[in-house]
Amino acid sequence: MSNNKKKIVIIGATSAIAEHCARLWVKDDVIDLTLVGRDSEKTERVAADLRVRSPQSAVCVLEADFIDPLAIQQLVDKIVAEAPVHTVLIAHGSLPDQAACQQDLTTCHEALTVNGISPVLFAEAFVSHMQKANQGTLAIIGSVAGDRGRKSNYVYGAAKGLVTRYAQGLQHRLANTGVKVVLIKPGPTDTPMTAHLKQQGGLANVEDVAQLIVKAINQGTPVTYAPAKWALIMMIIRHLPRFIFNKLDI
């Protein structure tokens, strides 16, 4: 691998949003791209497509345990040891069924771990290396769901709320360094994860969301709602008086 190539790492590379971000990156530049996924076969399919799109880029696939802290640390140490990392995008997650989380603590635990604790562990492992190097951009995908707890998805929202508070603290910690932390808050996006919501309409186009994410990462924007309209929507929802909010079926 050439050390002259920008090294980008994507955690959760099989997510639709992450895959479209990767397509934009290989379209714009020749890069050294590491794709990390839980299923190497699925991740390799994403990698194969990217290699066709950018034959000069180096695309590596790694399979990872997304839950075990020691495995996460060892994986990150291995990635960083090979070459300094320019950009990390932490994009993995799941959209759990709220009713199932209420009825089964194992499901609830998994939802909180995959969507909240796991992204934080990956971020913390990478940022320790980035801070030592005093360079790089760490981007982490949260969600508009983390802005205020709602009965329809409060377990998922709680996990994404954890990501939001963590990113805020990390930005404060690294404010006077060369490391940038970017928090992305997508609204409902048309991906396989939200296929059951498609009939409701209003889902954002995944390509558009990916473009907003890549732009935010390139500019080092601290917080980006994707699409931008969600900044206003969630500001209103956050500030609704409780007696009004409690009447809403959301």
* CATH number of the domain within which 30 lies: 3.40.50.720
1 within domain boundaries: no
Q: What is the mean pLDDT of residues 44-73?
A: 97
Distance CA 128, CA 99 (A): 37
Q: What is the mean pLDDT of residues 31-56?
A: 97
176 within domain boundaries: yes
223 within domain boundaries: yes
Q: CB neighbours of 195 closer than 8 A, spacing ≥ 6?
A: none
250 within domain boundaries: no
pLDDT at 122 over 70: yes
Q: CB neighbours of 227 closer than 8 A, spacing ≥ 6?
A: 187, 204, 208, 209, 212
Distance CA 212, CA 214 (A): 6
152 within domain boundaries: yes
Which pLDDT score is estimated for 2? 43
Which pLDDT score is estimated for 201? 67
- Helix (H) / strand (E) containing 189: none
Pairing mode of beta strands 223-226, 31-37: unpaired
Overall number of domains in the chain: 1
Domain that holds residue 72: 6-245
Distance CA 59, CA 37 (A): 13
Q: What is the mean pLDDT of residues 52-69?
A: 97
Distance CA 149, CA 88 (A): 28
For the entire predicted model, the pTM comes to: 0.94
Distance CA 183, CA 186 (A): 10
195 within domain boundaries: yes
Q: What is the mean pLDDT of residues 201-218?
A: 94
180 within domain boundaries: yes
